Amino acid sequence: MLSFRPGLLRLLTCLLLTVPVWAQNHSAPAVEPASNAAAPAELPQDIYIKSPTQTFNSRFYYALHQGKIWIKANRQVTGLNEPWQLMICNGLPCQPDNPDFPVPKMIKEISADADELTAIDDRGHFYIRTMEGPGWFSKTEWTNLNGFPKSELKLSESHVGRRAWSMGRRHFDVLWHEDADGNQHHVGTMGTSSIYLLNADGNEIWFTDNGLPADISHIACGPERGTVISENLQASAGTLMLIDAAGQIYTSMDDFDLNGGTSMFISYTYTPQPRYEKPTGKDYPSHLKPWRLPLEHWRKQPLIPLTGQAKISKAITISQNGQGNAARELRVAGRDPQGKMGYYFKPVFADKWSFQPAVLSVPDDHWLDPSKATRTRVLSQDTHYGGSLRLGNGEAYIVEIRNFNLHCSPATMRIYLPDGPVDVLLHTVDAWISVKRLDPGRDGSIQLMLGTLDAPPEALAKLPKILKDLNLATFALQLGATTDQLIMFYLDGRVQALLPRIQPLPPSIKTHNYHYVLPPGSYATSSLRQAKMDMTRTLDPSLVRIDLENVPNEELEILNYFSHELLKQLQAEEELVVEAKGRAWMEASFAMMARSFYGATGMCWWAPNGQAICRTAPVLLGASYRIEDELNREALIRYRAMIKQVAFRIERYEKRLREVNGPDWKMTPPQSQLIEPKPTPTPEITLIPTESPSP
């Protein structure tokens, strides 16, 4: 029987009630509540460089001491010179009027930006301090829930050993961003709060935001298609800052809204747009204008000149200081040529660094020596796929995608036409999905993506008409990607191409230990994972014996018992997949209901996001449902075949056991256990040398 999940109701509420608030002027900063405890003497007077234990936003300084959070006004912004105070609830996240709020035992790390503070406790759980502002539903409070549908956000095994993390908030302080055409777009109604993690190897940037399910499963493409190894990461207002061991700094703007992921509510285009005269980024209607994709590439910042006693560290900071893309200041802790402690700084788009003396404490292991550093890169995760491309008119062509990357776009798709091969770009972005994930595309589950073809003029002239019509049609394709295959769909859900991987995986891809099967859809994957079941389970060969006459009775008892256990798990997994099919159908149905409601009330034409509810959301959720249904149909075929095989095996085992032990034989749990196979170790990252650092 299908269970009605709270997330479905939340999705319906979101679709029905997403009518934005028109932008207001930002109110004065609210005062954070605090206690009267005496401040530790080691807390700094000012905070200039952010770290996991000291940070700041546009309102306050925050510092950790013995697992508790201290606070005072940001003197550099507010001009107020206040003493440090311990936040209420003994410096721990709390809701004073909510006795059921899970107050953590201690806080291990903090990060802040704009008007928010984010904390991680000793269990790896995130807590977020929001502040009341002009957006809907905003209020000053701690919450342990994040994302949509709201749930607890916590670190997973994929984030063990992370090198750095940072939160960034793009909202009314920064107010707008400029796209690749230079057009300004208002931030919207509530802003976007993103959390970014730099992985243990320094080459992947994992992220989530307040509009995604509460997991950290998306990965932003790093510099040079994710091959640069970075030492530290900081973020502010959607802008990322990285530094490598040689002191090279990279910056880029990237969050789920900016990179094309929020296509249900934001209009995107790959077609160059004329410069908008009105509205400007200060006006909300600019939010509704098409946002140009793709995002600009990572910017390689000028190196900091080091002469005399000058030194730099990996202690970096980026902070917003105005409105628009240029309103970011970069900071790097270091020493000037005379050996004075302080930080180098510059506006994000400036060419030269300046130095500001300041009282700072830099750990010994944070100092960099660019003159001795050897720049290395990890091998690219670009993967080679190939197969048949089927068009709706019955035509079929051989295609290759030689550099498809789960996290870096674009890829080049080579289509072998009768007159010869042509190359077109395939732009991809992650699609929004309402379920939690772990490491989609690399853990046996599918990564759902939206695709757009981009053909150069000489290639466009040779393409079949169907592909010509798809050229620059934003997100006309949907893709299901894993490290083993790439499935390409029309937007209405019909399969267009099944492209298996045709070359070995690059050694830089750390796939989880799974045996390849056609993955189920995202809803089924989430259900199986939450139930702690292995969605990629196959028949264990250690349970299969053919020559039953030669199997000792005790061993046959063990084989039969564990075959029963396997049968129970397969049947439970089958039920979860059936339930997931129903959940996908209900969410698609709710999108249609929302469209009907908007149409009946006329909101399709006058509500700011009416076109999204009436046109974009139903199409995307409907297409997702068709893909989900097709994948889960395949999964059910597999499960039912496995169940049939195991049931037949049990029948044979028990027939033999009754022959040996008599007709009254009954199964009992065995005393001994089967030996579990050892997991395959994950591959090590392969490093490649590059050029020597510039002097």
Distance (Å, rounded) from C-alpha 71 to C-alpha 124?
22
Structural domain range at position 642: 525-661
Which H or E run includes 207? strand 205-209
Terminal-residue alpha carbon distance, the chain = 68
- Could you give the 3-state DSSP secondary structure of residue 565? helix
Is the per-residue pLDDT at 528 higher than 80? no
Domain match, 353 and 245 both: yes
Quick check: is 668 in a domain? Answer: no
Domain match, 416 and 553 both: no
The CATH number assigned to the domain holding 162 equals: 2.120.10
Distance (Å, rounded) from C-alpha 287 to C-alpha 277?
14
Distance (Å, rounded) from C-alpha 223 to C-alpha 252?
9
Domain match, 76 and 217 both: yes
Within 13 Å and on the Cβ side, how many CA atoms surround 106?
7
For residue 682 the two structure tokens come to 């994950």
Q: Which residues of 318-344 are buried (b: 16+ CB within 10 A; e: fewer)?
A: bbbbebebebbbbbbbbbbeeeeebbb
Tens of pLDDT along 393-446? 788 999 999 899 999 999 999 999 999 999 999 999 999 888 888 888 888 788
Domain match, 402 and 417 both: yes
Of 171-180, 524-533, 664-673, where does the model show the most confidence? Answer: 171-180
Domain match, 213 and 68 both: yes
Distance (Å, rounded) from C-alpha 689 to C-alpha 376?
4
Tens of pLDDT along 68-123? 999 999 999 999 999 999 999 999 999 999 999 999 999 999 999 999 999 999 99
Task: Quickly state the pLDDT bin for 300 (edges 50, 70, 90).
Answer: very high
- Could you give the 3-state DSSP secondary structure of residue 494? coil
Tens of pLDDT along 141-180? 999 999 988 999 999 888 889 999 999 999 999 999 999 9
Domain match, 569 and 588 both: yes
Quick check: is 357 in a domain? Answer: yes
- Which of 24-28, 35-39, 321-325, 465-469 has the lowest average pLDDT? 24-28
8 Å CB contact between 196 and 113: no
Is the per-residue pLDDT at 562 higher than 80? yes
For residue 539 the two structure tokens come to 């028949």
pLDDT at res. 135:
59
**Residue whose token pair is 């510039």:** 694
Sequence-ordered alpha helix ranges (H) in 18-138: 75-78, 88-91
Is the per-residue pLDDT at 10 higher than 90? no
Quick check: is 619 in a domain? Answer: yes
What is the mean predicted confidence (pLDDT) over 118-134? 92
Domain match, 433 and 341 both: no
Domain boundary among 516, 543, 565: 516
What is the mean predicted confidence (pLDDT) over 216-224? 96
- Which of 238-252, 294-308, 518-532 has the lowest average pLDDT? 518-532
Is the per-residue pLDDT at 8 higher than 50? no
Distance (Å, rounded) from C-alpha 385 to C-alpha 277?
44
For residue 194 the two structure tokens come to 């993103």
Is the per-residue pLDDT at 1 higher than 50? no
Distance (Å, rounded) from C-alpha 224 to C-alpha 227?
6
Output 24 or 134, whichever has higher pLDDT.
134
Task: Quickly state the pLDDT bin for 277 (edges 50, 70, 90).
Answer: confident
Rg (alpha carbons) of the chain, rounded to whole number: 28
For residue 531 the two structure tokens come to 């139930």
What is the mean predicted confidence (pLDDT) over 587-603? 84
Domain match, 96 and 152 both: yes
Looking at the structure of the chain, the number of domains it has is: 3
What is the mean predicted confidence (pLDDT) over 621-628? 75
8 Å CB contact between 357 and 342: yes
Quick check: is 445 in a domain? Answer: yes
Within 13 Å and on the Cβ side, how many CA atoms surround 687?
8
Which H or E run includes 599? helix 553-601
Quick check: is 267 in a domain? Answer: yes
User: Whats the size of the chain, residue-wise?
Assistant: 695
pLDDT at res. 16:
41
Average pLDDT, rounded, for the chain: 86
Residue 466 CB: number of other CB atoms within 10 A? 13
Quick check: is 288 in a domain? Answer: yes
- Peptide bond preceding 520 in cis form (omega within 30 of 0): no
Is the per-residue pLDDT at 199 higher than 80? yes
pLDDT at res. 51:
97
Domain boundary among 352, 377, 402: 377
Tens of pLDDT along 454-501? 999 999 999 999 999 999 999 999 898 988 889 888 766 666 888 999
What is the mean predicted confidence (pLDDT) over 514-535? 66
- Whole-angstrom CA distances from 4 to 7, 290, 623 are 9, 36, 21
Quick check: is 552 in a domain? Answer: yes
pLDDT at res. 18:
43
β-bridge pairing 68-73 and 218-220: unpaired
Domain boundary among 345, 361, 377: 377
Domain match, 535 and 498 both: no
Is the per-residue pLDDT at 677 higher than 50? no
Quick check: is 15 in a domain? Answer: no
Distance (Å, rounded) from C-alpha 526 to C-alpha 383?
26
In the chain, the percentage of residues whose pLDDT exceeds 70 is 87
Domain match, 370 and 391 both: no
Is the per-residue pLDDT at 21 higher than 60? no
pLDDT at res. 609:
67
Domain match, 432 and 502 both: yes
Nearest to 318 by CA among 251, 390, 247: 251
pLDDT at res. 680:
47
Is the per-residue pLDDT at 688 higher than 60? yes
Domain match, 511 and 637 both: no
pLDDT at res. 512:
56
- Peptide bond preceding 29 in cis form (omega within 30 of 0): no
pLDDT at res. 25:
40
